[in-house]
Amino acid sequence: MDEGLFCLEERSMVDLEKMRHSAAHVLAQAVVQYLGSTVKLGIGPAIEDGFYYDFELPRSLAPEDLREIEKLMSRIVEADLPFVREELPKAEARKLFAQLAQTYKVELIDDIPDEVVSVYRQGDFVDLCRGPHVESTGKIGAFKLLSVAGAYWRGDSDRPMLQRIYGTTFPTAEELQGHLERLEEAGRRDHRRLGRELDLFSVSDEVGPGLILWHPKGAMVRKVIEDFWRAEHIRRDYDLVNTPHVGRLDLWKTSGHWDWYRENMFPPMNIDDQEYLLKPMNCPFHIMIYKSDLRSYRDLPLRWGELGTVYRYERSGVLHGMLRVRGFTQDDAHIFCQPDQLEAEIVGVIDLAQYMMQTFGYDRYDVELSVRDPLRKEKYVGGDEVWEMAEGALIRALEQKGVPFKRMEGEAKFYGPAIDIKVKDALGRPWQGPTIQVDFNLPERFDMEYVGADGQRHRPVMIHRAVLGALERFIGGLIEHYAGAFPVWLAPVQAVVIPIADRHLPYAETVLARLSEAGIRANVDGRREKINYKIREAQLQKIPYMLVVGDQEASVQAVAVRLRSGENLGPIGVETLIEKAVSQMESRSLKLS
């Protein structure tokens, strides 16, 4: 990239942040004007696409209030009040905000280690703030308030719930408009909306929240992904296993989940005087398979994969379509290996993850390596040597694959270091991608062993890994990534044959028979409707191939092909079309042709 351009972008990002932060101050001033001096201010930072400000208010806000507050903000912007920075000793600042009865600000001041703090004033409004700000309120561009939401003071659910107003601002009205349009586009891609429109899945009150019903078309997409997943794992020397949905509570006591994960589990059920649990994870079952036999170092590594359905109790407020649910199927696998095999195994998993992400069209991602907090080593199970061995293996594996990564100190779970891949979708939004987690805890708790070349018993290393994560979340994400227009290999219906008149129906059926024989998922739209109507419907269903058949086509064993893109390819021989579609399926092409 051109360096000058880069600098320019860098600078404008800083400016944008300054402007957004300044807009937050203007919002706060407007809210105080609107609701009076009993308003208590929380914090008001710039965020990725705008800004917010948290308030404790005498009453709750309605959407109409946002319009009034916006008007007041416009007046403040028009008045072009200068932002004036002032530095004062902590004690003095404390007194100032105590006088204003700004208890949250006083709390913030008490937490600032420096002796001098800065405040910014615009007009009669003053706020504790590190800055920087734009010179005056007139420098704030086009803005809009978007929503009101609840937010705990300092994110702590034991502290008061404040009202948060979200807004956004851009240098120009056009850029603001562009952003609002992107939000609309995200809304159009919403998997919940597309899930209904494309008849992929639903959630039923009667069944229960957070439980997904896969309709035939959604189930087909899932089936294709599962087939791909299984085939790819078998190809890479994994073995597949299957384990039940429930198991004895004692198993979860041994694993430790009952102690540290209980709030996320469904309560136990009593069967024949024994407590059973709906499984929140697959690992203990895989471990029991491991322990069903005495293992030799010659058996390792063992790679066992399962599309395992688990149930986790999620608090009602966090459920969201297919993305956050209470029952889901993980593409789980556990690798049991010797310590010196760890690096090679991690390389293999990274390679698999990259291949699968790329196949689904996720070509942008960030990799994070979660390691121990070096200052609090006592929080973690396992000694220094195992952690250093494992961290070293992960780092060497990443380097071997040439993957740039960010080291996240203190982000590791207590039981081992991990690699997390965050993918970006077509709209540049981040999604949780593949995860690779080393575990020193479970092999210990379950007393897992293998017999080494020396005839002695040794502890295996365990790796948990998921590439897709959960099928529900992954497919929900795919729906949004593709905006519902699945590539041919994934499309639940790949082709629809559209006869022009009743007399073309028999020919349409012969075309369908040929397509089905070739493994193409297709149907005939034989309704007594005009083709405009049928095309429109197929188009809305985002079916890749629309095959119109009339007298001309029937006479030469052809179909007139219209692609979902709107491109009309004209008449093509049936066999040629089949070849084309099959080649798209086999190559898992992301581009329709």
Composition of the chain by helix, strand, coil, percent to 5: 40, 25, 30
Find where tokens 């795919």 sit: 478
Min CB(278)–RNA separation in Å: 14
DSSP category for residue 264: G
546 is a contact residue toward RNA (CB under 7 A): yes
CA–CA gap between residue 216 and residue 190 (Å, rounded): 20
Q: How far is CA 196 from CA 59, 191, 503, in A?
A: 37, 8, 34
The reply to whether omega before 160 is within 30° of 0 (cis) is no
Instruction: With beta carbons less than 8 A apart as the criterion, state whether 139 and 23 touch.
Output: no
Contact region with RNA (CB under 7 A), list: 216-224, 509-517, 528-536, 578-586: 528-536
Binds RNA by CB under 7 A, chosen from 342, 553, 581, 585: 553
Taking the complex as a whole, how short is the minimal distance between the CB of residue 472 and RNA, in angstroms? 6
- Phi and psi torsions of 354, nearest 5°: -60, -45
Binding of residue 219 to RNA (CB under 7 A): no
At closest approach, how far in Å is the CB of 90 from RNA?
26
Give the total of residues touching RNA (CB under 7 A). Answer: 70
Q: How far is the CB of 140 from RNA (least distance, A)?
A: 23
Give the per-residue contact string, 462-491, with RNA (x = CB under 7 A; - = no): ----x--xx-xx------------------
Q: How far is the CB of 557 from RNA (least distance, A)?
A: 13
Residue 523 in tokens = 């149907």
Q: Is 149 in the site for RNA (CB under 7 A)?
A: yes
Which residues have CB under 8 Å from 514's CB, separation 6+?
574, 575, 578
Listed ranges 21-29, 115-123, 161-169, 386-394: which one lies at the site for RNA (CB under 7 A): 161-169
- Phi, psi of 272, rounded to the nearest 5 degrees: 50, 45
Please report, as residue ranges, which positions from 248 to 267 form the binding site for RNA (by CB under 7 A). Answer: 264
On whether the CB atoms of residues 490 and 471 are closer than 8 A, the answer is: no
Q: Does 312 bind RNA (CB under 7 A)?
A: yes
**What is the rounded distance in angstroms from the CA atom of residue 473 to the CA atom of residue 478?**
9
- Choice from 529, 575, 579, 586 touching RNA (CB under 7 A): 529
> What tokens appear for 148 in the block?
């009101």
Tell me if 557 contacts RNA by CB under 7 A.
Answer: no
Provide the 3-class DSSP secondary structure of residue 267: coil
Told to check if 19 binds RNA by CB under 7 A, we report no
**Secondary structure E strands in 486-554:** 495-499, 522-524, 545-549
One of 274, 552, 583, 589 touching RNA (CB under 7 A): 552
* d(C-alpha 307, C-alpha 275), whole Å: 25
513 touches RNA (CB under 7 A): no
500 binds RNA (CB under 7 A): yes
Q: Does 60 bind RNA (CB under 7 A)?
A: yes
- Torsion, Cα 205 209 210 214, to 10 degrees, reads -10
Q: Which residue from 317, 374, 402, 428 is in contact with RNA, where contact means CB under 7 A?
A: 317
- List contacts with RNA (CB under 7 A): 60-62, 147-152, 155, 157, 161, 163-164, 192, 196, 203, 205, 208-210, 264, 312, 314-321, 324-326, 328, 330, 432, 435, 466, 469-470, 472-473, 500-503, 528-533, 535-536, 539-540, 546, 548-553, 560, 562, 566, 568, 570-571
